[in-house]
A and B are shown apart, each in its own frame.
Chain A
Amino acid sequence: MRIQKRTIALILYFVLLLLPIYWMLNMSLRTNADILTTFSLIPTDPTLKNYLKIFTDASWYSGYLNSIYYVTLNTVISLTVALPAAYAFSRYSFLGDKHMFFWLLTNRMAPPAVFLLPFFQLYSTVGLIDTHIAVAISHCLFNVPLAVWILEGFMSGVPREIDEMSYIDGYSFPRFFLTVFVPLIRTGIGVTAFFCFMFSWVELLLARTLTTTDAKPIAATMTRTVSATGLDWGLLAAAGILTIVPGALVIWFVRNYIAKGFALGRV
């Protein structure tokens, strides 16, 4: 009896959770005229026209490519910067290390809008506006502190004696770090990459402001569907579905790591 109750509750929860996503999928498979005239739970006349338009029209699919490009760039930069930083925080004590660690975290407490104007001014001065690297670097402000924080937790779980033993065995630092240490914290790296990816993927404000055409993210492209004739619902829904896909894929790959990360208490 008890199990049944729980099952019912879970089913209800998932229905509520997945209803908007299903509705989006539903819309994405219908034409705009169909959406606006008839109400139906299942598309009566399913069409892939919306998806075809996105995959064939360069102004649409380049949005995805741009997003994927700067998100990947950002994840790589964040990890490259955060790995040595987290190692320093976990292994060495230096003057003000705890304050600095906290200061890093406070960067995440400010809303992105606070940094919008200075970033725009700064980036246009150095001519970085409308480049992928501009968006990737601006997202580092939020992702690097988070990455340092998560990685530091994982690194502190590795006994310091392993570092010393490697030096005794004759490893150089880079070699030790890459062949011994990184494999030990790969769970943490997976979790960190996931969070960096997710933040950068959904962040719209900075990405839209710092780009105009060449590096325009998909979320900005989606606002284009507003035209004089109204919204193109079907196209917008198809774009939305495609936006979910990369995130879902990443979650699928790191799902075990995430569970472990939660167990370790840092995520």
Chain B
Amino acid sequence: MSKISLIIKREFVAKVRNKSFIVMTFLSPLLFVAIGVFVGYLSTMKADQKTIAIHDESGMFVREFKSDDEFKYVDFTSIDTKVLKDSIINESYEGLLLIPKEIAKDSLSNKIQYISNDSPSVMFVEDLENVINTKLTQENYTKAGLNVNAIQNAESKVSISLAKASGEAALKGLNEIKIAIGGAFGYLIMMFIVIYGNMVMRSVIEEKVSRIIEVIISSVKPFQLMMGKIIGTSLAGILQFLIWALLGLTAMFVLSSVFGIQMGASSGVNAEAVQAAQQEMGGSLALYIKELWNLPIATILISFILYFIGGYFLYSSFYASIGAAVDNETDSQQFLLPIIMPLILGVYIGFFTVINDPHGTVATTFSMIPLTSPIVMMMRIPFGVPLWQIAVSLILLYGTFFLVVWFASKIYRVGILMYGKKPTWKELYKWSKY
């Protein structure tokens, strides 16, 4: 067996046998599900209904406020405002809306008051304003001698339907689905880099701290050791992801078979209605599914693998050389920041810029820069990226990757034999020239 495969095997076994690896692998999906269930449970809980007192001296608006689950509007026009204000302070009501008798249009708009102990949400105030505005506008139309019904009929509500130049139908909301798919892959790459890059770093530090490093590099080249470590660790990570994927699929299969039967049983009562609904939904659903199949799935998967490998190797060789440069994990912080920054930048650009303008200058530029391209390009690909752009970005990524590995292995080679002092950036640069 060649030396590098021996190293890969040892690193892999050391990671996989580690208790924290086993715990992480099997506990974190559980935790994930538990959090999901908890959040779901929280969102089903309804907030208490709040009572809003309305003192409407004009008498124009009070009937326009419709109570719902969240707010109950009560007409307290007959009660003195002073009493009402006191009861607000005593917290009998959430808030008090005061509308004066004077309805001289423009002047009124400044005289309406909302009184409460807690400051209301912007949305709630906007809702109140909307109700009053609508009513006032209608009044104004009437006063101006316009027919309110005619105006309402004249209002149009256009919904632009989307289509592609190729003549296929397009769907709204597809962008969200695309960014979700691209985002999931991009985010996966980032998470993998952070988690397993850190593991590579820790494993390098461990070899330094236990002082075994010199024994090993008297048998193998530091470069072999570094690459073996990076590959071995990544294999452990891939195994972990595979286990998660398998668990996820099993869980989905079990859930769908259990709940699928239940759904079928309960829908028997109202089968016709369900069928009708399904047909109606089915139309657009089929279109969505068709649209999803039209995504460049092969391109997405192949680029995912390429960007995953390129990105992971690029970053983990940084991590390895940082591990070699320091004596303990605490010292690594100052060197880690510049590594984490581009990763976070990539995710932000992905979620804020790509979704708005997938082929704009910013998104395109950052999908070329090697440090962010694995994340940003993965997010762009579902929107359809010209092949030459992917090719250029990959060439840049792998070119940088070889440069960085070469540079990192130089720092690594010197760093692993240095003890006792925390190096500066300048010293790291000097090491690369030894």
Instruction: Answer yes or no: do A and B interact.
Output: no
